[in-house]
Structure 1
Amino acid sequence: MVEILCIGDELLSGLVLNTNSKWLSKKITRIGGHVNRITIVGDDICAISSAINESLERGIDCLIISGGLGPTPDDKTLEGVSSALGLKLELNEMAVDMMKKSYERLCIDYQLNEFRLKMAMIPKGSMPIQNMVGIAPAVLLEVPSRHRTSSKIFCLPGVPMELEGIISAYVTPILKKHISAKFHVIENTHEIIGVGESMLSPILFKIKNSNLPTSIYVKTHPKGYTIDHKPKLQIQIVSKGEDRKMVQAKYREIFSLLMDEIDKLNGKVIG
């Protein structure tokens, strides 16, 4: 079970669109993980600390935190982690070396003043992760869990390119170790005209009640109306599991059920 914690006043004010959570959710789902919750809090140490402890109380396997690792006063993520876990922040020499490599890679003339070194002040016992795009290292912590042997906490930069690079290079391989390597997913979206959500509700309830949510997911998305006032609908079908043949068979079964129902309701599939 994975949770995502996004940090930043700019997310709460609507100034910045939270694209990181969408990208992360899709990435995690694709490898067979399950995102149980997405939380957004502002740049406040108490709010960050509280959100982390609440996640750990729920017995998560992994918490992915994005944002707040920079050198400015409003970057308070690691202070919040420190507060939540009771771990002192300390200057990590490995993190300092990583920053030096990043500055040199980017051909930036720099001095490691107190503001820059703030990005290398990480919780005691945590492990820095090289940022291959930006400067601030990511951070990995493994903490005791009330419900499991341990929970992993990844603190990642909020800049999308930096976050995505670290996730792909470092985080995904770690997550895959806890998820079956044979996990398969089939996902398709179909455009429908002439059938509204309420008309499909009976078959959707039937599908939901006869399948585990971890294996089948069906979601409808209204898309307005045509010029001649016919409802437009997008249907997303996701089949997932460890047995490829079973995943394929289940997808075909659900697809056939939906297409038969749409045909009965005089709807039309256009894509």
Structure 2
Amino acid sequence: MESLPIVLPTAPAPSRRAPLPILAPVVPVLGGVVLWLVTGSAFALCFAALGPLMMGASLLDAARARRRERRDGDARAEREWAFAEAELRRRHGDERTALRLRHPDAAACLAQPPLRSAEPPASATPVVVGAGSISSSVRCSGGDDRRGREFRERCSVLDAAPVVVPLGGGICLRGAQPLIAAAARALVIQLGMRFSPAQLSLRGRASMRAAWGGAACGARRSRQVRPRDRLERDGAHGGGCRDLARAR
């Protein structure tokens, strides 16, 4: 069952500026004028000064409320982004682990021997040739800002994942001879651990079988069987190219 997409937080909306108070500062001014007319005392006009003071205090209080609202929105968005990042790491980790269990390389096969398939190797049999970035099945929604677009790009790419190719297409290695030999042995080990001798065997020069068979097959070379498929090494390609595996 496909998991739900990761919901990204939206950018905090800018706080609205509070409207300028009109009636609140006018009332003290009118009250001061009325008291001055009734009492005739100039001190009554001091109430009129409360109007501008109340207007300034209201503006300061509105600005303080906007700053607090903005801080709360930013803190809430950061908590949601932290949760989204942790969820992305968890889902990518689960996806990477599942792919490595489904497509083990030579090191994984040696650390934990996989269950051998009842089906013999065929042209479509996947072979792990390394690790790299592949398309991820993890999806996300929301987040239309720049940070959301960057998260969406990272969400769609799975790093350090097994890179597989079909066995029937052949595998070509180019490079220095020690590196080619090490990579070839790793591929042979991988196939030798995944399939039984009745399904797969080595064909080639005796020196090649001794070098690769000893590293890959070990105890599984005790008896001679008629293979359904073969693993070849052909130096006819030139330039250090080795066509390592071709299913028949």
TM-score of the pair, normalised by structure 1 = 0.20
Higher helix share: 2
Higher strand share: 1
> RCO (CA 8 Å, sep 6+): is it higher in 1 or 2?
2
Bigger radius of gyration among the two: 2
TM-score of the pair, normalised by structure 2 = 0.21
